[in-house]
A and B are shown apart, each in its own frame.
Chain A
Amino acid sequence: MRARINVLVRAELCNIYGWNVFRSSRDKKVKKRAWSMLAVWAVLLGLLVFYMGGLSYSLLFLGMGDVVPAYLTVIASLLVFFFGILKAGSVIFRREGYDILCALPVSKTAIVASRFVRMYVEDLLIVLVVLLPGIIVYVWEVRPGLGSYLAVVPWAVSVPFIPMAGAIMIGTLITGISSRMRYKSVVAAGLSVLAVLGVVYLSSRIAAMGDGSGEDLLRELSVHTSALLEKLYPPAVWVSAAVVKGQLWKSILWAGCSLAVFAAVAAVVSRCFHWICQNLYTSPAEHSYEMERLEQSPVLAALCRRELRRYLASSVYVSNTIIGPVMGCVMAGGLLAVGAETITENPLLPVDVEGAIPFLLAGVFCMMTPAATSISMEGKDIWILKSLPLTTKAVLDAKILMNLLLFLPFYILAEILLFLALRPGGLGGVWLVLIPAAIILFSCVYGITIDLHFPVLDWEDEVRVVKQSASALLGGMGGFLLAFLCVVGALWIPAEYRDVYSGCVCAVILLTAGILYRYII
């Protein structure tokens, strides 16, 4: 059993992050694409390292050194948990190689175990990027005893276990429920988004349960933060104490308990693995179609309809891209619920944030635009579009239009909620409408431009496109990064120049989108 698990684990890990393809391929395009991806990852990880190191240093500077390991644990665990919910189903119940594996003399437990290990290794790399910079700053400043150094190792390697176990349980539940539905992908995507929203809501409720006011927070920041972290994720504070006090046995005990939870979840999942896979991969064919009236449609409408069907057919595609617009509506609804003045007139906020709200809304909407991976999502079907008498413009227009139509209802809802919350007058209302629309349009065109340069068409698993491609990282987040830069500008600019700033930014964004559009068609 163990030997078979080892073989499967080796097979799973040999191409982690596309390493084996990079190593074995002689195609220069593959190498170039891999180097581009590496560069993108290096920049993103560099930013994360810088951020985590800075956060750790800030906590130490405020005299809150004791909460650093707990803080790092919570951040790493939340990252693993959130992304785990969205990817657990597609990784554990992956179609690729399933038929061949099932025909081999290996147990389902071995298949599940190998996939768990793969997911663990991927998550461990992310966790280490979060933990190491922070903990290096911590040990540099605090100079703890040898016990703390030793306790760090079991702590660090065990951080992914529990959030992964939770995420996989939720992911399995979602996949299991949706696998019995006719519209599996849509149901799975809907449930995934609901799960993420539920976690966000619960987190905010737990955080709000703290009885400290703003003044208390400033006075007893360390105690309050520690209590908050304990409410959010109790094990973080417990294991943090082991690292701070150098209690190696406690750290090892923690690692053992986490591993036991992880193994228990693996055992549960392996019991229902085959049943879920069978439901997922077998679609009933009715063989009962009778010719009915067909209607001719304009080419753009036909292509756009096809784009929408393609989009809705992939749960991982939907759940990763619809979360932005949903969060945008939640943000707007939240602002209406708590009252805009809570934010705009909050004395704790050093700047006037009202001018930045349109950019913030756009940023949340454009966290990951579908258009940015829409070409790569064609995959091996690309021959159809290439052999049909279609102009590049028609194909790209359909992709952009589908993205805009998809975002439209969310955009309208968010705008209504924001208008009710902020009650802007004159130009303020114009910018509230125009700025998010301009940035959404830009992010669609920019995303497609990037995808045209870094297409991934030889994929077997949609996860490779939606989560791991350069298009998803560079293109999908383009609008988000642009909005973030604009937010910084809006916070910095004096209130009397806000309209000029918003107008100029809007014009530049639309002009750039126009130039990019002309370039790609």
Chain B
Amino acid sequence: MLQIEHLTKHYKGSSKGITDLSLHIAPGDIYGFIGHNGAGKTTTLKCVAGIQDMDAGTVRIHGVDMREDPIECKRQFAYIPDNPDIYSYLTGIQYLDLIADVFRVGAREREERIKKYGDAFGITPSLGDLISTYSHGMKQKLALISALVHCPRLLLLDEPFVGLDPKASVILKEIMRGICAEGGAIFFSTHVLDVAERLCNKVAIIKAGKLVASGSMEEIMERGNTLEAIFMEVVEDAGEDQCVGESGAL
């Protein structure tokens, strides 16, 4: 579904960036991406979403190269940033309508989906209000509905649980599992290791822009009792040059 090969991205005048990162996300995967603040999670997701250019490497979605056909790639996924700045001058329903128009979602389908997810997240009554009046959590919910309104096969989520209330978190996890059960895939970054441990079937750990561990949850968990303990151990042990690939070797 999503193939990231040797992704490299460095910012001019900064030591931060991504170096030679490779990951494969298959249909049915809920792939957790964990790392410290500034490790490169957001940069990776932005490069995958086509928001930032890459210095080197390739990103393929369903075999289509992001550089060669970005529009076709973007039709396949939905991306939500960690702090969704959404057009504050639109109402919630106007924003959802815009996204549905861009993805050419029919009138009836969009109505059904907006109602379904709006009711599930409990923000349908607020959809007529300006987004500028929304709290962070409500913006997050709106961004999630906009991502789901066109039924993407791949979801790219940057810290999707931050700001969500407990009920919304549960619903989001159910939705994520549902998408994967239907052959979709989810690649998301998170700081909440408990969530990653319980939700993901695969996980990747990134430190200072380099992948230090990746593989199925079972393979990763062979190293310790909890993902938290393993994360701390891996991140502290990993030297600057230690970079382990998709094989799962730690």
Interface residues of A (CB under 8 A from B): 26-29, 283-291, 293-299, 301-303, 305-306, 309-310, 312-314, 379-381, 383-384, 386-391
Beta-carbon contact of B13 and A288 below 8 Å: no
List chain A residues, Cβ under 8 A from B97: 294, 297, 302
Partner of A294, one of B74, B102, B111, B133: B111
- Flag whether B79 is at the interface (Cβ < 8 A): yes
A278 to B65, CA, bound (A): 50
Q: In the docked arrangement, what's the CA distance between A390 and B51, Å? A: 12
- Neighbouring B residues of A380 by C-beta, 8 Å: 85
A sample of 7 cross-chain residue pairs with beta-carbon separation below 8 angstroms, ordered by A number, consists of: A27-B12, A294-B111, A303-B102, A306-B98, A312-B89, A379-B85, A383-B81
**B129 touching A293, Cβ below 8 Å:** no
Residue pairs across A and B with CB atoms within 8 Å: the count is: 120
Residues 114-163 of B at the A interface (beta carbon under 8 Å): 114-115, 118, 124-130, 132-134
A294/B100 contact (C-beta < 8 A), A26-B13, A26-B14, A288-B125 known:
yes
Contact B105 A309 (CB under 8 A): no
20 more A-B residue pairs beyond the given contacts A289-B128, A293-B107, A383-B85, with a C-beta to C-beta distance below 8 A:
A285-B126, A285-B130, A291-B111, A291-B115, A291-B118, A291-B127, A293-B111, A294-B110, A296-B100, A296-B106, A297-B97, A299-B102, A303-B102, A306-B90, A306-B98, A309-B87, A314-B89, A381-B86, A388-B99, A388-B102
Interface size of B as a range: 35 or more
Do B114 and A294 touch across chains, with their CB atoms under 8 A apart? yes
For A284, the chain B residues whose CB sits under 8 A away are 133
Closest 7 CB pairs of A and B: A289-B128, A313-B89, A302-B101, A389-B74, A285-B133, A380-B85, A285-B129
Which residues of A sit under 8 angstroms from B134, Cβ to Cβ? 285
Chain B contact residues: over half helix, strand or loop, or mixed? Answer: helix
Contacts of B104 in A (CB 8 A): 296, 299
Task: Decide if B93 is an interface residue (CB 8 Å cutoff).
Answer: yes
Query: Considering the chains assembled together, what is the distance between the CA atoms of A306 and B101 in angstroms?
Result: 11
Interface bits B163-201 vs A (CB < 8 Å: 1, else 0):
000000000000000000000000000000000000000
Q: Tell me which of A288, A302, A312, A387 contacts B49 (CB under 8 A).
A: A387
- Shortest CB-to-CB span from B99 to chain A, Å, is 7
B71 on interface, CB distance cutoff 8 Å: yes
Q: Please tell me if the beta carbons of B51 and A387 are within 8 angstroms of each other in the complex.
A: yes
Give A416 to B125 CA distance when docked, in angstroms: 47
Which residues of B sit under 8 angstroms from A289, Cβ to Cβ?
92-93, 124-129
Residues in chain A near residue B49, CB distance under 8 A: 386-387
Which residues of chain A have C-beta atoms less than 8 A from B13's C-beta? 26-28
Q: Measured between alpha carbons, how far is A299 from B105 in the docked complex, in Å?
A: 11
Instruction: Give A253 to B134 CA distance when docked, in angstroms.
Output: 52
Residue of B nearest to A284 (CB): B133
Residue B27 is within 8 A (CB to CB) of chain A in the complex: no
Q: Which residue of B lies closest to A389 (CB)?
A: B74
When the two chains form their complex, are residues A287 and B125 in contact, meaning their CB atoms are under 8 A apart? yes
Q: Which residues of A contact B68 (CB under 8 A)?
A: none
Q: For B114, give the chain A residue with the smallest CB separation.
A: A291
Q: Does B36 contact A (CB under 8 A)?
A: no
In the complex, A166→B87 CA distance in Å? 34
Q: Give the distance to chain A from B127, nearest Cβ to Cβ, in Å.
A: 5
Instruction: Give complex CA distance A305, B89 in Å.
Output: 12
Cα A29 to Cα B12 with chains together (Å): 9
User: Contacts A295-B107, A302-B98, A391-B71; is A283 near B133 (CB within 8 Å)?
Assistant: yes
Determine if B248 is an interface residue (Cβ-Cβ < 8 Å).
no
In angstroms, Cα B97 to Cα A298, docked, is 11
Query: What distance in Å separates the Cβ of B46 from its nearest Cβ neighbour in chain A?
Result: 8
Cβ A389 vs Cβ B128 within 8 A = no
Residues of B within 8 A of A387 (CB): 49-51, 74, 79
CB distance from B143 to the nearest CB of A (A): 9
Q: A287-B126, A289-B124, A390-B71 are in contact. Are A381 and B85 (CB under 8 A)?
A: yes
Q: Does B75 contact A (CB under 8 A)?
A: yes
Residues from chain B with a CB closer than 8 A to the CB of A390 are: 71, 74, 102
Please give the distance in Å from B138's CB to the nearest CB on chain A.
9
CB-based nearest B residue for A30: B13
Query: Distance in Å from the Cβ of B117 to the closest Cβ of chain A?
Result: 12
A253 CA / B128 CA spacing, docked (Å): 57
Q: For A379, what are the chain B residues with a Cβ–Cβ distance below 8 Å? A: 85
Q: Beyond A302-B102, A313-B89, A387-B51, is A291–B74 a contact (Cβ under 8 Å)? A: no
Flag whether B72 is at the interface (Cβ < 8 A). yes
